[in-house]
Amino acid sequence: MSRPAIVQSDRTVLLEVEHPEYERGRDVLARFAELERSPEHVHTYRLSSLALWNAAALGVGVGEVLEGLAAVSRFEIPSNVVHEITEAFARYGVCRIVDGEGGALRLEVDEPAVIVRLERDPKLATRLVRRGEGFELAVLDRGPVKRALLGYGYPVEDRAGLVDGAPLAITARLDRFTPYAYQTAAAEAFARSGHGVIVLPCGAGKTVIGLLAMERLATRTLILASNREAAAQWKRELCSKGSLDEREVAIYEGARTPTIAPVTITTYSMTSKRGGSGPTGFTHFDRLAAEPWGLVIYDEVHLVPAPIFQLTAQLQARRRLGLTATLVREDGRETDVFALIGPKRFEIGWRVLEQSGHIAQATCFEVRVAMSAARASAYALATPREQPAIAAANPTKLEAMTALVARHQGERILVMGTYLEPLRAAARALGAPLVCGDTPHREREKIFAEFRSGAIRTLLLSRVGNFAIDLPEASVLIQISGTMGSRQEEAQRLGRILRPKPGGASFYTIVSRHTREEDLALHRQLFLTEQGYRFFIEDMTQIVPPLEAAIVVPPGPELAELGDPDALLN
Amino acid sequence: MPFSTESSLPTTWPLEDVSLKLVSDVLRCSSAEARGERDRFARHHADEAWLDQAVATLPVPSLCVAALLARNGGMLYVPELHSQANASFGLGADETDAGVYELLQLMLIAPLQATRGECIALVTSAADAIASRVAGLELIPLSREAFVAGEHDGGRALIAVAMALATAELRITNGGTLHRTVLKRLAKQLGSDPVDLERSIVAAHQLRLVRADADGLMSPDREALLAAADGRYLRLPVLDTLAAVLRDGAPVASDAIDRYFGAIEYHGSVTVPVDLLGRLPGFRAGTVGKAPALVAIEPAGKPAASVTPSFEVFIPPESHPRDLVEILEACELVRIDRAIVARITKASVIQAVSRGSTGEQLVAALAKVSRTPLPQNVSAAMLDWAGTTVIATLARGTVVVVPPSEQSRVAAALGASRTRVVAPGVLVVDDGVAERTIAATLRKIGILERVPEVPPPARRAAPAIEPAVPSPPASLALRARVAAYQRHDPREKRPAVARATVKPHPTQQIDKPDTLVRRLERWERTHDELLPPEGFDAVVDVLLRLSAVDVQFVLGANNRKELAKRLGVMLPSRDLADLDLEVLQDLEDVFGLTKPQRQPRPELDWQTEHVLARLEAAARTHSTVALDLGTRTCAIAVRKIAPRGTALLVFGDDEHDVSHAIRLDEIRAIADAPPASAAPAKAAGWQPAPGMTPPPGHVKCPCMSGKRYRECCRSTLQPS
């Protein structure tokens, strides 16, 4: 019988899902290859250098990799791939950081060419001091040096010790909940190495993994979240599922209330505020970095802004845990995540958890609606900058949305969008509240609470609802506009309705036909389709039967009223 | 006495022209019986069963001789026959002569006395039938068991590369090479090495799987590719013949195939390297012993492609090569590797629609080649993209024709003030708006533009040059007999007659065979030195059959650029660079044939002719003439000429974008100038005729010295 995989010369491995030996192939590849895409029929793995180095770190040898590949590959492995795998393994362990004298660190390099290169690198000249056969470096330079060497193509085997941090007794309250097996496994995978990223779908319970990691390390923890709502949710979860009381978990909200507790939660935007006279020039970061944290958790690690990468380089001596559902960045800085926070330690596919019932079964639809002739003309005449706003404000979208709401009568429905005017029009049409950037924090919490209780069954959200909003009761999401082609936003929005529930979840994207929205929607869906989700394309006529099409919708704003497209964004 | 034209082979001898004396000598009959015998054989030659029987019973050397005569156009000089028989079949001179003798006994050949010596020709009545039975006889079958197959991708990579040219916008530059930037971009896109990619594109072009238009833009020949995917080569029948010869499954030595190609008339420069053959669908390279060999295989495969909801298409090696053509018709090629990866995009679907496919056809084709059901979002998107594709027709640059329903949208986009609606769906845009701007605006609103194809003006038919028509292959049994003979198998008897005792009967002195050389010479005489485009097509067709080295002897310098463009990737660039096209040399060196001595042609033909008379004649016949305007040469298909003052207006289809008006006094002065031969140019130095504009200094001197004009005759020019 033929084997299930095809090894390509660009180091990708295509694994046929329907093949009888698929599971064997998957198990073999999981040891040393990175799962890149897992759409229906064919999964794509990549034999990236990082994946191979991770395998090497776990004790997998080059022979084992080549034998494993040969065992699952239908054809002979391309010779360049064999060479590159051997080369990648040969590079692992060439550079090592070990504990030096007097609290400093020592970089040992076995390759003379790398030594010469390091000596001549102007960026590293101030960080590395030649001492005998190696280099001496300060603790703070650990991150930049590791990143620079990774740029050379040499991973650093970091054997220097990690700071333990101040102890903190925290336990998970197993009387209140039982962690899923994958959550325990993820926490253990992280605890073994002390730094790394865990990738799980939205709704899979990443907060619990954070809690379990804290329990295993028993140390003071700094949590970086994406926004205030997310920070509040972390606190709520930690207090309800962990043994900490309210005083031991603080939300750091800036200079006015600089609360620091054994477990402190803050936001990325707070940490990356410049100012102060501290060593990094980021006032709140300097303040927080001075605390004896033993663990730093990066929630939604795909959102880490550029300054945080720079700051994270300063935290290489602390244990670091990254949590995300969508490790895709439109700026392509995934490598920085791997280099500075740590490699991927644990991952479970969205469809896997869906099939096991840990997240809701979702059906995705793209509904294409036409534009009126006048609007189509206006769209054609508009500049590329204006066009997305015109397509997003297509009144026909509201008709489709109303019909979809009617189709899911009785369910909890979220309507999400990027442009505010169409959202307001939709709110008027549905008579439902809208939460956007202007909505005060308390009012938001009140509306969310009403939605959770069922007092409100339809809720409209602008981009503020993209991340970390926990509305587990929502089962339908209608997306009337999006931020260009963001794959991450699409996945995160789907994540809002993935809490397991009977009957599954429905995810709709309404797209104006013959506009760039069609292309952008295709790009947005890419991450989810690569995770194995199917999108069904429906036409407006399938949603709104001709007789019912005459639903009265308040007139949408015309082009002149829309004004500057940027002003429409919250 | 001419050779017959009744056979597809150019040089066969009519049986009725074989003298009765020869018949009586050969058949040892009386002169009175000879006529009857000759008539009897004429009847036999028309009888297929008799011919089958004859071929079955003829000894192997006779078959070999017949095969050599057939592949050389029907005739060979005896020394060449001996030499080729030895090289191709390992026959000694005695064996060859014995083979000739046996053929003579059946009156299948005729011995002739030509200017260069004795030659043997097939007789016309049996030539085609014999040729068809013995073609490819030198492709000796080797042991199937000993064949070790090499790595082979079923020709999929070559097909994929050819299909990728549909969207690559790759051109052949004026220098005859592929556009480097586009090539590199394509190589990067496909993850291929640019050198390998170039080689594949050149190969695909040589095999006529891709074609280049007049601007050098390359595109796949879908029909040829579909056939190639099934192991058939529509545009290169010689490969079809080879595939048919090899299809019995027995491997053949690559050397033999090389010789086979090399021997086929007209086939020189397009000889397909055997290592390339191994990369084609329908063939598989390998080794027998340690020698390279080739077998024909039936292209096989099953629907094995996978289409994912993320619009990716994976085409594993198990797919049939034909599937690849079907898939890439609607997809964009992403990577050529073990598994070929493609992506369905809006642009690729719209382009397929603009080529004439419908959305339903594209979806059905994809579903047919896929081993899994097509994801709904993929099929829906494809149908949507295809069904809603609006195609506008741009006529005369500023007239836009769209479906009436799109009229207002298009008018708004093009600018209402600059656009007039003259009929439903027909808009006229102001002249000031460039066609390019209109097209860009239409694309911006999702409408594809199409410029109607203008039929080319009727031109005088190019001289017909018959393509090489391959004959059906010799049967495996016949080739096996040759192999057995070469092994000295006792079952294959040696010819009993050690040497033919019959001397060729001197016949009427024959002319040089009307072979390729003759055709080229004739063509060259009847055309001006600058070729009209259709002439180029014809000559390129001929050149394809010449070796690269020979090209330089055929065309003059004026045509070099055009030739290079046309030949493009057909010849390796280094060969083009080496070409010295400036001197039309005697073809004798190349072909070993005598050629009437001729005065060296002056570089500009028109100088020695009466231009006005020629122009008038051309105007009557609407033919194309070449005009030299001092600094440039143009070809004009003349319709009418009219003197206007001192200018001569020539009305016609200008082929090379030059002024149609030529000063009358200039023309007359040129026409009245003494012919070059009358005034020895070298001795006196060349001088422009009165009223004639002298050529620029950097061009070759008209005195044919080979130097630049400014360094030669201009420096000695007497001030007037």
> Is the pLDDT confidence value at A188 over 50?
yes
> Is the pLDDT confidence value at A36 over 90?
no
Closest CA to A78 of B547, B153, B228: B153
- What is the predicted pLDDT for the residue at A245? 86
- What is the predicted pLDDT for the residue at B596? 34
Closest CA to B479 of B103, B142, B78: B142
Which residues from chain B sit within 8 angstroms of residue A39, using beta carbons?
A: 308-310, 312
Cβ-Cβ pairs closer than 8 A, A with B, add up to 91
- What is the predicted pLDDT for the residue at B263? 58
Cβ-defined contact of B309 to A513 (cutoff 8 Å): no
Cβ-defined contact of B310 to A530 (cutoff 8 Å): yes
3-class DSSP state of A264: strand
Note whether B381 contacts A: Cβ–Cβ < 8 A.
Answer: yes
Helix axes A79-91, A62-72, angle to 10 degrees: 150
Note whether A471 contacts B: Cβ–Cβ < 8 A.
Answer: no
Average pLDDT, chain A: 84
> Is the pLDDT confidence value at A405 over 50?
yes
Q: How many CB atoms lie within 10 A of CB A530?
A: 24
Closest CA to A565 of A417, A421, A372, A381: A421
Reported ipTM: the value is 0.76
User: Exposure string (b/e) for A321-335, b if CB count within 10 Å is 16 or more?
Assistant: bbbbbbbbbeeebbe
By Cβ distance, the residue of B191, B311, B338 closest to A6 is B338
| Alpha helix segments (H runs only) across A134-227 | 142-152, 181-193, 206-217
DSSP A457-494: SEEEE-GGGSSS---TT--EEEE---STT-HHHHHHHH
Q: How many CA atoms lie within 13 A of A25 on its CB side?
A: 25
Residue A172 DSSP class: B
Q: How far is CA A467 from the centre of its chain?
A: 10
Looking at residues B5-31, what average pLDDT do you find? 79
Looking at residues A82-104, what average pLDDT do you find? 89
- What is the predicted pLDDT for the residue at B578? 39
Looking at residues A510-527, what average pLDDT do you find? 86
Pairing of β A95-99 and β A105-109: antiparallel
Note whether B412 contacts A: Cβ–Cβ < 8 A.
Answer: yes
Question: Over the stretch B353-389, which tens digit does the pLDDT of each residue have?
Answer: 877 888 899 999 999 999 888 888 898 888 888 876 6
Looking at residues B629-640, what average pLDDT do you find? 51
Which residues from chain A sit within 8 angstroms of residue B346, using beta carbons?
A: 518-519, 522
Residue type, B259: R
By Cβ distance, the residue of B317, B339, B445 closest to A380 is B445
Q: Evaluate the CA torsion angle A76, A79, A85, A90 in order and state its sign.
A: positive
Q: Measuring CA to CA, how many Å separate A136 from each of A124, A126, A555?
A: 11, 11, 69
Cβ-defined contact of A8 to B316 (cutoff 8 Å): no
Question: Over the stretch B404-418, which tens digit does the pLDDT of each residue have?
Answer: 667 777 777 787 677
CA distance A110 to A149: 13
CA distance A135 to B523: 80
What values do phi and psi take at A536, rounded to 5?
Answer: -105, 130
Note whether B314 contacts A: Cβ–Cβ < 8 A.
Answer: yes
Distance from CA of A358 to the nearest CA of B (A): 23
Distance from CA of B147 to the nearest CA of A (A): 21
Which residues from chain B sit within 8 angstroms of residue A78, using beta carbons?
A: 338
Lowest mean pLDDT among A399-403, B62-66, B200-204, B271-275: B271-275
Cβ-defined contact of B316 to A40 (cutoff 8 Å): no
Looking at residues B557-586, what average pLDDT do you find? 39
Confidence of residue B504 (pLDDT cuts 50, 70, 90): very low
Tokens of residue B292, six digits: 């390279």
CA angle B270, B276, B279 (to 5 degrees): 135
DSSP B191-249: T--HHHHHHHHHHHHHTTSEEE-TT-BEEE-HHHHHHHHTT--TT-HHHHHHHHHHTTS
Which residues from chain B sit within 8 angstroms of residue A3, using beta carbons?
A: none
Question: Over the stretch A99-138, which tens digit does the pLDDT of each residue have?
Answer: 888 778 899 999 888 888 888 888 888 888 888 888 998 8
Looking at residues B115-139, what average pLDDT do you find? 82
Highest-scoring range by mean pLDDT, A121-135, B325-339, B419-433: B325-339
Distance from CA of A488 to the nearest CA of B (A): 15
Which residues from chain B sit within 8 angstroms of residue A9, using beta carbons?
A: 191, 337-338
> Is the pLDDT confidence value at B575 over 80?
no
Helix axes A206-217, A228-241, angle to 10 degrees: 60
- What is the predicted pLDDT for the residue at A544? 63
Pairing of β B399-401 and β B390-395: antiparallel
More confident residue, B486 or B587: B486
Tokens of residue A519, six digits: 């292309």
- What is the predicted pLDDT for the residue at B265? 45
Average pLDDT, chain B: 70
CA angle A69, A73, A75 (to 5 degrees): 125
Question: Over the stretch A434-485, which tens digit does the pLDDT of each residue have?
Answer: 998 888 888 888 998 899 898 999 999 998 887 667 788 899 999 999 888 7
Question: Over the stretch B209-266, which tens digit does the pLDDT of each residue have?
Answer: 888 877 788 889 989 999 999 888 887 777 777 787 777 778 888 888 877 776 554 4
CA distance B650 to B625: 11
Note whether B306 contacts A: Cβ–Cβ < 8 A.
Answer: yes
More confident residue, B558 or B697: B697
Contact between B633 and B528 under an 8 Å Cβ cutoff? The reply is no
Which residues from chain B sit within 8 angstroms of residue A526, using beta carbons?
A: 310
Which residues from chain B sit within 8 angstroms of residue A377, using beta carbons?
A: 408-409, 412-413
Looking at residues B618-627, what average pLDDT do you find? 54
Note whether A368 contacts B: Cβ–Cβ < 8 A.
Answer: yes
Confidence of residue A28 (pLDDT cuts 50, 70, 90): very high
Distance from CA of B409 to the nearest CA of A (A): 5
Note whether B17 contacts A: Cβ–Cβ < 8 A.
Answer: no
Confidence of residue A61 (pLDDT cuts 50, 70, 90): very high
Which residues from chain A sit within 8 angstroms of residue B376, using beta carbons?
A: 534, 536-537
Cβ-defined contact of B446 to A514 (cutoff 8 Å): yes
- What is the predicted pLDDT for the residue at A510? 93
Q: How big is chain B by its Cα radius of gyration, in Å?
A: 31
Distance from CA of A61 to the nearest CA of B (A): 26
Which residues from chain A sit within 8 angstroms of residue B309, using beta carbons?
A: 39-40, 529, 533-535
Note whether A518 contacts B: Cβ–Cβ < 8 A.
Answer: yes
Note whether B404 contacts A: Cβ–Cβ < 8 A.
Answer: no
Note whether A78 contacts B: Cβ–Cβ < 8 A.
Answer: yes
Confidence of residue B148 (pLDDT cuts 50, 70, 90): confident
- What is the predicted pLDDT for the residue at A548? 41
Contact between B531 and B624 under an 8 Å Cβ cutoff? The reply is no
Q: Quick one: what percent of chain A has pLDDT higher than 90?
A: 29
Note whether B346 contacts A: Cβ–Cβ < 8 A.
Answer: yes
For residue A237, the surrounding DSSP H or E stretch is helix A228-241
Cβ-defined contact of B191 to A9 (cutoff 8 Å): yes
Cβ-defined contact of B413 to A381 (cutoff 8 Å): yes
Which residues from chain B sit within 8 angstroms of residue A536, using beta carbons?
A: 376-377, 380
Note whether B189 contacts A: Cβ–Cβ < 8 A.
Answer: no
Question: Over the stretch A410-420, which tens digit does the pLDDT of each residue have?
Answer: 899 999 999 99
Confidence of residue B507 (pLDDT cuts 50, 70, 90): very low
Give the N- to C-terminal CA distance of chain B in Å, as an integer.
57
- What is the predicted pLDDT for the residue at B420? 79
Lowest mean pLDDT among B47-51, B189-193, B227-231, B670-674: B670-674
By Cβ distance, the residue of B310, B337, B413 closest to A380 is B413
Looking at residues B292-305, what average pLDDT do you find? 87
Which residues from chain A sit within 8 angstroms of residue B311, using beta carbons?
A: 522, 529
Distance from CA of B459 to the nearest CA of A (A): 45
Highest-scoring range by mean pLDDT, B547-551, B598-602, B703-707: B703-707
Question: Over the stretch A325-356, which tens digit does the pLDDT of each residue have?
Answer: 877 666 666 667 777 787 788 888 888 888 88
By Cβ distance, the residue of B338, B377, B413 closest to A366 is B377
Note whether B709 contacts A: Cβ–Cβ < 8 A.
Answer: no
- What is the predicted pLDDT for the residue at A25? 92
CA distance A451 to A462: 16
CA angle A83, A84, A86 (to 5 degrees): 65
Note whether A9 contacts B: Cβ–Cβ < 8 A.
Answer: yes
Looking at residues B318-335, what average pLDDT do you find? 90
Cβ-defined contact of B308 to A529 (cutoff 8 Å): yes
DSSP helix, strand, coil percent of chain B (3-state; round to 5): 45, 15, 40
> Is the pLDDT confidence value at A385 over 80?
yes
CA distance B595 to B589: 10
More confident residue, A27 or B215: A27
- What is the predicted pLDDT for the residue at B655? 44
Q: How far is CA A243 from the centre of its chain?
A: 28
CA distance B533 to B565: 12
CA distance A70 to B145: 28
Contact between A119 and A135 under an 8 Å Cβ cutoff? The reply is no
For residue B198, the surrounding DSSP H or E stretch is helix B194-206
Contact between B142 and B306 under an 8 Å Cβ cutoff? The reply is no
Question: Over the stretch B188-216, which tens digit does the pLDDT of each residue have?
Answer: 888 888 888 888 888 888 788 888 877 78
Looking at residues A31-35, what average pLDDT do you find? 87
- What is the predicted pLDDT for the residue at A211? 94
Confidence of residue B459 (pLDDT cuts 50, 70, 90): very low
Pairing of β A221-225 and β A249-251: unpaired
CA distance B86 to A210: 85
- What is the predicted pLDDT for the residue at B406? 73
